[in-house]
């Protein structure tokens, strides 16, 4: 096996022997240097040690040396090393044992891109992605204040102190126990809520000229149940008659005006007219002549009555017919 101390033999060259001390002499004088006396571009002459052409400025190449003894020794040592590796590989192949491989792990550090810290490093124009949804602009907040809803308050209408007593369509009827009437029409005309002709009743004229014939006829109203009756209002176009108001708590009105079941509640003379004389019943103080209405207070505050009758005793000034356009009772 060849070692590094054996002499190196190069084909075509004489055998090289190391000195006894093993130190090689300097090789500066052993290697001849080639020198070009002229520029290869412009042909200008040059001197040794000149690196640039003074005419065209071309750089002169460095001189190449011939490998010396050290170079040859190194080449031989490298050849012996390669031969030793080949022998080791052969022995490993014979023994069927491969030398262990040395695994080297290289860690490559990855550094993140530096974040620009100065405003100049931030791009001024940033491209806007095209796949983003459109931005919906919200309406500007209203500057006006929202009024607080106010719950409407239903006004409380106080009930009248004396409400009108509701009457049915068949509440009124003629009251004529002595058969004094010669003609009359529908009694409901006097108490209906709709505009209708007046109710009227007519009695015969007196037998003696200048003597007023007594009426002795009336209009009865059934309230439907016993109730307090405080007053009445009526409208008439036949002024001057006299009327007495009577009340009874019976289911049917008594069949005689003199029956003690009747109670006198009020009286008015010369209705809607001036008094005929200073004697006899006088007009009600609240009754204004010619206004076609009569308001008459009744004494039914403490008792209840079901049947109320208007009893006519003296006919109107113009004749023996009484007309009532509207009649109301109040509780």
Give pTM, 2 decimals: 0.51
pLDDT tens string 240-255:
999 999 999 999 999 9
Count other C-beta atoms under 10 Å from residue 78's C-beta.
10
Decide if 89 contacts 98 (C-beta within 8 A). Answer: no
* pLDDT above 70 coverage of the chain, percent: 56
Mean pLDDT, range 52-59, rounded to an integer: 80
The CA–CA distances, whole Å, from 61 to 16, 42, 95, 218, 292 equal 32, 15, 54, 161, 151
Q: Would you state the pLDDT for residue 288?
A: 84
Q: How many contiguous H segments (helices) and E segments (strands) does the chain have?
A: 1, 9
What is the distance of C-alpha 24 from the center of its chain? 106
Q: Would you state the pLDDT for residue 268?
A: 92
Both tokens assigned to 256: 């005689």
* Higher pLDDT, residue 184 or 274: 184
The CA–CA distances, whole Å, from 272 to 205, 212, 218, 292 equal 22, 18, 18, 6
Q: Tell the CATH topology of 172-330.
A: Jelly Rolls (2.60.120)
The CA distance from 43 to 191, in Å, is 153
pLDDT tens string 111-151:
545 555 554 554 545 454 555 556 555 566 566 667 777 77
**Weakest mean pLDDT among 78-92, 217-231, 260-274:** 78-92
Mean pLDDT, range 297-323, rounded to an integer: 90
Q: Are strands 217-235 and 172-175 parallel, antiparallel or unpaired?
A: antiparallel
| Per-domain residue ranges of the chain | 172-330
Mean pLDDT, range 57-73, rounded to an integer: 59
Question: Largest alpha-carbon pair distance within the chain?
Answer: 202
Burial class (CB in 10 A: 0-12, 13-18, 19+), 328: middle
Q: Would you state the pLDDT for residue 45?
A: 79
Q: Would you state the pLDDT for residue 195?
A: 79
């Amino acid at each position: 096996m060849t070692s590094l101390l054996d002499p190196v033999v190069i084909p075509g060259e004489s055998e090289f022997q190391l000195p006894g001390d093993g130190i090689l002499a300097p090789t500066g004088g052993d290697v001849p240097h080639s020198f070009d006396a002229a520029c290869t571009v412009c042909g200008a002459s040059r001197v040794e040690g000149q690196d640039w052409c003074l005419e065209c400025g071309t750089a002169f190449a460095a001189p190449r040396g011939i490998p010396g003894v050290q170079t040859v020794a190194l080449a031989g040592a490298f050849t012996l090393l390669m031969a030793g590796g080949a022998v080791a590989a052969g022995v490993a192949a014979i023994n069927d044992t491969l030398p262990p491989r040395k695994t080297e792990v290289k860690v490559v550090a990855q550094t993140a891109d530096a974040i620009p810290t100065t405003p100049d490093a931030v791009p001024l124009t940033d491209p806007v992605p095209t796949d983003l949804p459109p931005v919906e602009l919200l309406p500007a907040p209203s500057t006006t204040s929202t009024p607080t809803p106010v719950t409407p308050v239903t006004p409380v209408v106080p009930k009248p102190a004396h409400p009108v007593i509701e009457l049915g369509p068949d509440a009124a009827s003629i009251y004529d126990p002595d058969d004094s009437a010669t003609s009359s029409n529908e009694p409901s005309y006097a108490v209906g809520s709709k505009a209708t002709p007046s109710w009227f009743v007519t009695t015969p004229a007196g037998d003696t000229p200048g003597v007023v014939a007594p009426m002795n006829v009336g209009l009865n109203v059934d309230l439907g149940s016993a109730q307090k009756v405080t007053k009445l209002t009526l409208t008439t176009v036949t002024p001057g008659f006299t009327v007495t108001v009577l009340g009874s708590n019976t289911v049917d009105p008594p069949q005689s005006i003199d029956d003690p079941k009747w109670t006198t509640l009020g009286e008015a003379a010369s209705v809607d007219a001036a008094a005929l004389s200073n004697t006899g019943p006088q007009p009600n103080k609240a009754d204004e002549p010619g206004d076609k209405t009569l308001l008459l207070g009744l004494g039914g505050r403490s008792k209840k009555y079901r049947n109320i009758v208007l009893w006519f005793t003296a006919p109107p000034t113009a004749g023996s017919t009484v007309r009532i356009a509207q009649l109301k009772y109040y509780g």
